[in-house]
Structure 1
Amino acid sequence: MNQFYIRVCGVFGIIGGLILFAGDMLLYYDSISMSLKRNMGNASDLRIIASGVCALFATWFYMIGLAQVYVAFKPTKPIYKTGVLIFFGCILIAFGIVHGAFLTIATTSKLAIEHHLDLKQAALLSERINEIMRLIVYPFVAVLSFLFIYPVWKRRTLYPRGILFFFPLIPFLVEDLVTKYLPNHIWIIVKGGYLNIILTLFFIASSIALWNIEEFKSKA
């Protein structure tokens, strides 16, 4: 893969993050209410449908962006570059599927509000499905973190060590700290779209790190 396509893959990853962030906002954003679940229930049919379509395109774009990460890991042993490709790919696909599970929460919440049902009880099954899927994905995150962090720290990839600050695990672990003191109108945006914000930032950092990768390799 030449330098042009490496850059293009990074741009696709960034666009994927922005698209799914927009999908998050279609579900969660409200200028007044700070209840994510109630905002989903109050979202129009068009917003919920558009959010689902966003997840489809974003997942495709994320997977194209993953090719850039694979290029960065090509100098490493097969276990690392293949492992990162598989586990990161599984997690990126899970982003789209889990977002789809949030659509069921939005739909059941919407029906509960329209028919004056208990909102918490109505969305309980949908939330349980979402939680189970997340629990399945977490071990993949743990394995990916080792496969990614170790060779990057040992300088066995084309990434600089600084990319670790943008590796999604790090901002994921400090989410509560980041969002705790935000004003309400900012909180609803950051909290609602946090996971896709951190992926967008990762692909931005990855694209910057690999933008002139041919020059880097020639110097090495």
Structure 2
Amino acid sequence: MGLNLIRVWLERSRGAILLENAASDQNLCDVDRASGRRPSSCCVPPEAARAIIDQRSIQLDASSIQISGSEIAGASPEALQGDGSFRLQFTRALILKTMTGSAEQTRWWQAGELLIGGVERVEGELPGVPAVCERGDIDDNQYTYRNMIPIPLKSRGQIRLELHLRDREEPLIVTGGTIELALRDTPKYIEHIRPATVRPEAIR
């Protein structure tokens, strides 16, 4: 099925992402990030294109975790819970805040954890010591968050985390049925990020 128009709209007020297919009279379902529930009438065609979302896609007031450079605690056996959940502890998650109508951003850091429930598979070695993230993807049904984690995040369905850690060849891959991000304490300010100025002589 051809897709002539894919529009990704991030609405922070209720934490929803709507993927609209204007070439068909059948819309993909509205995912409620606050509750993680989908309407029973939701029907996602398996051949539909996956929506790739990164921090450049965000246009409204929003915050998201930048996976690259974020620090995680060393995973212990408790990372795999007895109830079939996986808990990834962030000791220093880098947060980018984007403001409406501005190309500038601010960077913060905050502690928290990413919880994946209903774990089906874990591949790769769990780091026994604190590690730094290089990059990562989170597949949330028809959406892929590339090198970022939206704030807030709470969803269920087909969940997959692929996390590449610095100085490690094999990625950590976790698949499950639910995902939730929980941040702790107060975010700490790091810096103000302004767009790079391009010199006229560089555009030739």
TM-score tier after normalising by the smaller chain length:
under 0.3
Normalized against structure 2, the TM-score is what? Answer: 0.23
Q: Give 1 or 2: higher strand fraction.
A: 2
Q: Give 1 or 2: higher helix fraction.
A: 1
Higher relative contact order (CA 8 A, sep 6+): 1
Normalized against structure 1, the TM-score is what? Answer: 0.21
